């Protein structure tokens, strides 16, 4: 019997359940994991917001700080009141050293906003009436477009990330527009911009589902435990069945999925590999092994310092 191993440093967050997906009866095991951001900060945790320049600084700052707290990946210190440009921290003079001493962090962030201007747009359309006559009506709506540039540096002033993002929003179409809708559209675009800035360096959570093989011995008994979120017990049932069914590809595959959901990557890799070798004609076994290896590479990337 293979030994359980804890998920490395809590990088994977497992939530075992049967994921209905498009088929409410699909026998799946589902777990949640973190996927590295485009600008992966690895194990860094403490951020200091150094400056926000440009457009609606107050609203952006408020939404951004809320977003970081909600993401629960980084701790954030707001040092914008100090009025120190991020570029000053790329040097090693006394001012930079004093700032870092007062605001110690793994990384320092600056954001340059390009504004979120709204534009009133319209379109005339010919519409058919109940009496089959036609009439021209003009519809109006607001669009808003935002842009921002973000920069992250580490405590030595080394650049970790430089990126640009854009966002847009559109109001509902109507034959009559009111002035407040322009502001609402701009705020919506700004909130989307906040999310896009954060997503550039914040790993995202994603649900993964592995469809189990019904042909495996003890499938029903194990599935009952999985439905009750008792994955340890499900694994015990399947491992007991393996003693007399070691050549079963489906059984090894189901064990792999359960072991991965429990955070035991070493056992999962062995079971996925055995399933593929024992059932070479079952293409999804090899495909799931490849997906598993990608998930492991993602997990490893989250442990590497940039």
CATH number (domain holding residue 268): 1.25.40.10
Query: Are 79 and 197 found together in one domain?
Result: yes
User: Which one of 202, 226, 256 terminates a domain?
Assistant: 202
How much is the pLDDT for 54? 93
Number of domains in the chain: 2
Instruction: Kindly write down the DSSP assignment for every residue of 77-131, as one continuous string.
Output: EE-GGG---GGGGGS-SHHHHHHHHHS--SEEEEEEE----EEEEEEEEEEE-TT
Residue 49: CB partners within 8 Å, gap ≥ 6?
Answer: 61, 64, 65, 76, 77, 78, 79, 80, 109, 111
Contact 41, 201 (CB under 8 A): yes
What token pair was written down for 176? 């009559």
Q: Is residue 21 a part of any domain in this protein?
A: no
Query: Are 181 and 254 found together in one domain?
Result: no
How much is the pLDDT for 106? 97
Q: Taking the alpha carbons of 268, 269, 274, 275 in that order, is the dihedral positive or negative?
A: positive
- CATH code: domain of residue 82: 3.30.160
Q: What is the pLDDT along the chain (306 residues), one digit of tens a residue?
A: 333 333 333 344 444 443 334 465 679 999 999 999 999 999 999 999 999 999 889 999 999 999 999 999 999 999 999 999 999 998 888 889 999 999 999 999 999 999 899 999 999 999 888 888 999 999 999 999 999 999 999 999 999 999 999 999 999 999 988 888 999 999 999 999 999 999 999 999 999 999 999 999 999 999 999 999 999 999 999 999 999 999 999 999 999 999 999 999 999 999 999 999 999 999 999 999 999 999 999 999 999 999
Query: Are 65 and 121 found together in one domain?
Result: yes
How much is the pLDDT for 23? 62
Query: Are 225 and 177 found together in one domain?
Result: no
How much is the pLDDT for 245? 96
Residue 73: CB partners within 8 Å, gap ≥ 6?
Answer: 45, 202, 203
Which range marks the domain in which residue 252 is found? Answer: 213-301
Q: What is the pTM of this model?
A: 0.83
Q: Is residue 9 a part of any domain in this protein?
A: no
Residue 53: CB partners within 8 Å, gap ≥ 6?
Answer: 110, 111, 112, 113
Q: Is residue 294 a part of any domain in this protein?
A: yes
User: Which one of 178, 202, 226 terminates a domain?
Assistant: 202
């Amino acid at each position: 019997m293979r030994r359980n191993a804890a998920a490395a440093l809590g990088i994977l967050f497992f939530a075992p359940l049967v994921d209905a997906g498009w088929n409410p009866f699909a026998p799946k095991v589902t777990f949640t994991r973190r996927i590295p951001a485009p600008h992966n900060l690895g194990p860094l945790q403490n951020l200091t917001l150094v400056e926000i320049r440009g457009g609606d600084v107050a609203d952006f700052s408020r939404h951004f700080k809320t977003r970081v707290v909600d993401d629960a990946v980084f701790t954030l210190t707001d040092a914008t009141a100090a009025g120190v440009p991020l570029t000053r921290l790329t040097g090693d003079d006394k001012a930079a050293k004093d700032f870092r001493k007062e605001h110690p962090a793994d990384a320092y962030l600056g954001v340059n906003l390009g504004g979120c201007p709204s534009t009133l747009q319209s379109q005339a359309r010919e519409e058919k009436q109940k009496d089959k006559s036609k009439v021209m009506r003009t519809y109006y709506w607001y669009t808003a477009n935002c842009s921002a540039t973000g920069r992250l540096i580490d405590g030595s002033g080394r650049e970790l990330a430089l990126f640009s993002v854009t966002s847009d929003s559109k109001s509902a179409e109507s034959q009559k527009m009111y002035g407040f809708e322009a502001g609402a559209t701009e705020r919506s675009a700004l909130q989307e911009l906040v999310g896009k800035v954060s997503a550039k360096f914040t790993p995202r959570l994603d649900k993964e589902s592995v469809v189990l093989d019904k042909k495996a011995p003890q499938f029903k008994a194990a599935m009952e435990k999985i439905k009750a979120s008792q994955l340890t017990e499900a694994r015990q049932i399947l491992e007991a069945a393996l003693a007399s069914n070691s050549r079963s590809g489906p059984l090894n595959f189901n064990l792999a999925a359960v072991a991965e959901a429990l955070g035991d990557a070493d056992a999962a890799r062995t079971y996925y590999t055995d399933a593929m070798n024992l059932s070479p004609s079952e293409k999804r076994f090899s495909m799931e092994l490849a997906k598993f290896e990608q998930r492991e590479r993602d997990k490893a990337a989250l442990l590497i310092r940039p």
